[in-house]
Structure formats: structure tokens, C-alpha cells
Amino acid sequence: MREIVFDTETTGLSPAAGDRIVEIGCIEMIGRVETGRSFHCYFNPGRPMPREAEAVHGLSDVFLSDKPRFADKAGELISFIGDSPLVAHNASFDFGFLNHELGQCGLPAICLSRMIDTLVLARSRHPGAKHSLDALCSRYGVDRSQRIKHGALLDAQLLAQVYIELTGGRQIGLGLVADTPAVSADVTIIRAEPRPVRPARPHQPSNEEVARHRAFVAKIANPLWDRFLDPTSERSAA
């Protein structure tokens, strides 16, 4: 199954208040394995960058001044994500901004049924623990040493690794998936010849075997099991 893990950076917290996306990073995964394909773009938001937001992601007005507008790259973005499920951390935030930007371009919104929220998954799997991306990276041993500030592509890459762990770890990829693309190869199938059905072997001892066993046991002096024999048994009476 193809999935897209993505993250956004914005000018603030509310698209309704005029905040815009300034960066988006998308990672393609098939069968919970990263394919190496990605989509990454910075956007000129057409408005000043608040100092509080710049402190989070480090994207300044000067840096973004020569970047394309979201509308200029919307077609490429939609083509990349296709109809795949979209994975994000606190996904309602990212979906809210993404659908607002698409609406501004006159494009249809992405259906929320495609949303997979790793924050919800983390809360279900680790109730009472910390669920930030940093905390989950620490929990699962994901290297985040390069994460000095928030960055959409880097955060999507980290989230992809966290998502794998949240959904069963890398061993999940060892399963036989119905929609995994077939690999073309010349294969020789060797079928084993059917084996003849043999009757069960007899396990009942013969009279001769029973007699030899009794003779052997009789030679043992003070055997331990005598302590547990029924006094009325044949050996006890002997």
C-alpha cells in the first residue's frame, strides 16, 4: 500500500486568521518502506513572518521572498500525493492548512478519510506518555540529532520512521502483502512426490520385553520409587 508521510511549516496557527503554509515535505512509502521519492517545497506566503513562527522553523521573509507561491506548485503537489492515505503528526493541523491553501487555489479539499494521525496512534499505544515528535523519536531510538529547528522534510523523514514503529516495526514489511508489486523472474517450481501412507508403528511392549524389564528392575537395591508404591501392590508384597 502506498502512503505519504508529510509535514508543514506555517506562519502561525490559524489559516482562518490569514496564516499560510511556507514549507511542505512529503515522503513516499510503499508497504511501510521508504521508496526514496519525496516532494519538498518552500512557499512565499505573501505576508510578513511573525517572529514567533520564525523562531520555530527559522524561515525568514528574506529567505522566502524569491520562493514560489503555493498556487504555483499545487499541481505538482497533488500529482505527487495522488489518492494515497496521508500520514501526519497532529494531522488535523496540517490538513486544515493544506485544504485551506487548496481552496485558495480553487482546488478540491482532500477528504479527511485519508488522514492518518500519528498523534492519535501514539496516545492509544502509550497513554500518559509524552507524544511530541521529539519524545517519540527518543522512545523508538530514531536519530534526531540534525533537528535543530523544525523543518518540513526532515520532520516528515523522522515521522516516517516513527510511524513504522507505531504500526508494528520494520518486521511488518516481512509479511506477504496482496498488493505488493510482483517481481518478474524465471522460477523453476519443484513439486515434492507424494509419500506413501504408512501404518502407525506398534508401541505396545511384547511379553518378552516386559519380562526383561521386570528382571532388570528386580536387580536394583532399594529403588527410590518403592517409597511411593501402594503397600498392596504386587512388588510391595514381594
- Is 34 marked as a binding-site residue? no
Please tell me which residue in 40, 89, 150, 213 is annotated as part of the active site.
150
- Is 226 marked as a binding-site residue? no
* Helix 91-104 × helix 118-125 angle, to 10°: 170
Q: Are strands 2-10 and 86-88 parallel, antiparallel or unpaired?
A: parallel
- Is 9 marked as a binding-site residue? yes
- Is 52 marked as a binding-site residue? yes
Cα separations in angstroms, 48 against 53, 64, 136: 10, 10, 32
- Is 7 marked as a binding-site residue? yes
Q: What is the DSSP string of 102-154?
A: HHHTTPPPPPGGGEEEHHHHHHHHSTTS--SHHHHHHHHT---TT-SS--HHH
What is the end-to-end Cα distance of the chain in Å, rounded? 76
Contact 9, 22 (CB under 8 A): yes
H runs (alpha helix) in the chain: 51-57, 61-64, 70-81, 91-104, 118-125, 133-140, 152-166, 207-218, 234-237
- Residue 89 is a catalytic residue: no
Binding residues: 7, 9, 52, 57, 155
Binding residues for substrate: 7, 9, 52, 57, 155
Please identify every residue annotated as catalytic: 150
Binding residues for a divalent metal cation: 7, 9, 155
